[in-house]
Amino acid sequence: MPWNASAAFLVAVQRSMREIRKAVGTDVVDPQVLSCAERRQHSDWLGRKEESTAILALAKQGASIKEFVRRTKKSRGLVRQVVRGGRTDVFRARQCSLDPFLKQLDADWANGCRNSAALWRRMKAIGFSGSLRVVTEWATRRRKEEGAASGGGRPRKVPSARGIARMMTSERETLSKAVARTVAIIEDAVPALVTARDLMDRFHGMIRSRMSADLEPWIRDAMPGLLGSFAKGIVQDRAGVCAALTQTWSNGQTEGQDTKLKLVKRQMYERAKLDLLRARLLRPA
């Protein structure tokens, strides 16, 4: 089982998106402030919302998962996801090519560089391989956020679940005023997320410091909250977690060799036979 507390926190944010959207004041999304891609995502979300409403109506009647599937003609996994509070994020939480460069981009913006082309050239100088359009769209969203904040209003569009998770964790010390305002609104409205964030920090600190004595108190604190499922997974693999906290051994070398094998195979378009793989991996020095 992957002991990924950050991924568990992202799931907690995704399941809290309904409360977050109400808190930020974006229950109704204004299509005028959305990009073309975001308008398509919003249109798709409206269709998903109708499906979710029908499934939740059946849930209130006490129907079983099997009955949901029979009536709605949807898959069991989708029904279970809706019943458990998923599929509430309007905009897809996908990885952006700008993510590794956001700290530098925020710093340049704070220092007064507001020209998209200039920002893009600075990003290119440190390894950014994306297009100017990506940086231009980021700058446009940033101006809209700051305009809403300066007018005393709330953000026009709620950030994605992945963006909120990032703001509340890795970037919370370097947020702009506009983004910090959004995060403060979310934390005030959904205190359970703050608790989950603190528990995630405790877990990371426990792993880094190998504090095995802190494991049981952490499990007790995490069980009732948004990280309850993650804590249950830790309990199911308690022996492995305890060994990771107390033993010096690691399967990192094995995982590294496995990753290398997969990389070599993919380089050959998965057409590699065993003799060719052996020649590439075990060739004499």
DSSP string, the chain: ----HHHHHHHHHHHTHHHHHHHHT-SS--GGGS-HHHHHHHHHHHHHHHHHHHHHHHHHTT--HHHHHHHH---HHHHHHHHTT-S--SS-----TTGGGHHHHHHHHHTT---HHHHHHHHHHTT--S-HHHHHHHHHHHHHHHHHHHTT---SSPPPHHHHHHHHTTTTTS--HHHHHHHHHHHHH-HHHHHHHHHHHHHHHHHHHT-GGGHHHHHHHHTTSTTHHHHHHHHHTHHHHHHHHH-S--SHHHHHHHHHHHHHHHHTTT---HHHHHHHHS---
pTM above the 0.75 mark?
no
pLDDT at 84 over 70: no
pLDDT at 141 over 70: yes
pLDDT at 92 over 70: no
pLDDT more than 70, % of the chain: 73
Contact between 225 and 190 (Cβ < 8 Å):
no
pLDDT (0 to 100) of residue 93: 46
Greater confidence (226 vs 267) lies with 226
Band of pLDDT at residue 271, cut at 50, 70 and 90: low
pLDDT (0 to 100) of residue 146: 66
Greater confidence (88 vs 171) lies with 171
pLDDT (0 to 100) of residue 2: 40
Q: Where are the domains of the chain?
A: 5-83, 99-189, 191-246, 256-281
Instruction: Give tens-digit pLDDT for 184-229.
Output: 888 888 899 999 999 999 999 998 888 888 999 999 999 998 999 8
Band of pLDDT at residue 85, cut at 50, 70 and 90: low
Greater confidence (96 vs 52) lies with 52
In angstroms, the CA 284 to CA 264 distance is 17
Contact between 38 and 91 (Cβ < 8 Å):
yes
pLDDT (0 to 100) of residue 280: 79
pLDDT (0 to 100) of residue 37: 62
Instruction: Give tens-digit pLDDT for 4-38.
Output: 888 899 889 888 888 887 787 655 555 655 556 66
CA angle 84, 90, 91 (to 5 degrees): 120
Weakest-pLDDT range from 41-55, 102-116, 213-227: 41-55
Distances (CA, A) of 163 to 7, 58, 90, 94, 160: 13, 32, 13, 9, 5
Cα Rg, the chain, nearest whole Å: 23
Contact between 199 and 223 (Cβ < 8 Å):
no
